[in-house]
Amino acid sequence: MSNEEQYEYYGWKANQLGFFTEWREAVALAISKDPKADRSTVGSMCYELLKKNQQESLRPQILQAS
């Protein structure tokens, strides 16, 4: 998979989980701070961070429902 395909893949995954806009903004901010950064690496790191944050924010709601 090329770097561009990996980048698109993480964008697609972020969209599937409902945080594409946040992912796109996080990637843009990271790239603006380091223009030489690899987009696929930045994309995957931002995806993993946002996914973790989303899961942590859902945890209290799950505990309250049970």
Q: How many CB atoms lie within 10 A of CB 64?
A: 7
- Which is more confidently placed, 1 or 26? 26
Residue 44 pLDDT: 96
pLDDT at 66 over 70: no
Classify each residue of 2-27 as buried b or exposed e, where b means 16 or more C-beta atoms within 10 Å of its C-beta.
eeeebbeebbebbeeeebbeebeebb
Q: Which two tokens stand for residue 48?
A: 């993993």
CA–CA distance, 44 with 60 (Å, rounded to integer): 26
Q: Compare 55 and 9 and report the one with higher pLDDT.
A: 9
Domain residue ranges in the chain: 3-65
30 sits in which H/E element = helix 20-33
64 — pLDDT class (breaks 50, 70, 90): low
